[in-house]
């Protein structure tokens, strides 16, 4: 069962269970996927987006909600922050398990070797390999500096 089917089945189950908060979040996910499907059709891609794109959408949704929760906490709106974090938990159910620091380090080393990176100029190629292979499993904002450091030491 692909990701789109899992989310659709979960939406139906949430309707049956009358789980309003879960249903609301799942509907937001479906709406984001449909928006991307429409954009893909405009680009000439038929049949909808694949699981890789859906994972990128989910990752972006998680990041947005975490930033919102932090903002709400700073503003003293803990009720809204809790709601955002509850949405994050639901969204993360559909993302692969995040990699540990050790696994990320190993993945970075593997990507550097694969592209034959020898200087900081190869960072884009290394990040491209990592994004293609580990979408949803690592925070690329945090991985970027690791790649940069690894390439700086390789020179």
**CATH number of the domain encompassing residue 84:** 1.10.1510.10
Both 78 and 108 in a single domain? no
Both 15 and 74 in a single domain? yes
Domains of the chain: total: 2
Tell me how far apart the alpha carbons of residues 116 and 70 are, in angstroms, rounded to a whole number. Answer: 39
Higher pLDDT, 153 or 1: 153
Q: Containing domain of residue 63, as a range?
A: 3-92
Residue 8 belongs to what H/E stretch? Answer: helix 3-17
Both 47 and 120 in a single domain? no
For 14-47, what is each residue's pLDDT tens digit?
999 999 999 999 999 999 999 999 988 888 877 7
Domain termination residue (choose one: 49, 66, 92): 92
**CATH number of the domain encompassing residue 129:** 1.10.10.410
């Amino acid at each position: 069962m692909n990701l789109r089917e899992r989310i659709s089945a979960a939406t139906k189950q949430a309707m049956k269970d009358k789980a309003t908060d879960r249903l609301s979040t799942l509907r937001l996910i479906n709406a984001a996927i449909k928006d991307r499907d429409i954009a893909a059709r405009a680009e000439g891609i038929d049949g909808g987006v694949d699981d890789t794109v859906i994972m990128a959408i989910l990752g972006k949704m998680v990041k947005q909600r975490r930033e919102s929760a932090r903002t709400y906490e700073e503003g003293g709106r803990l009720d809204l922050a809790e709601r955002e974090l509850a949405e994050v938990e639901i969204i993360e159910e559909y993302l692969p398990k995040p990699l540990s620091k050790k696994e990320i380090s190993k993945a970075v080393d593997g990507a550097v070797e694969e592209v034959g990176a020898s200087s900081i100029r190869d960072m884009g190629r290394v990040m491209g390999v990592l994004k293609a292979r580990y979408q949803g499993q690592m925070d690329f904002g945090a991985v970027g500096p690791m790649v940069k450091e690894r390439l700086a030491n390789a020179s």
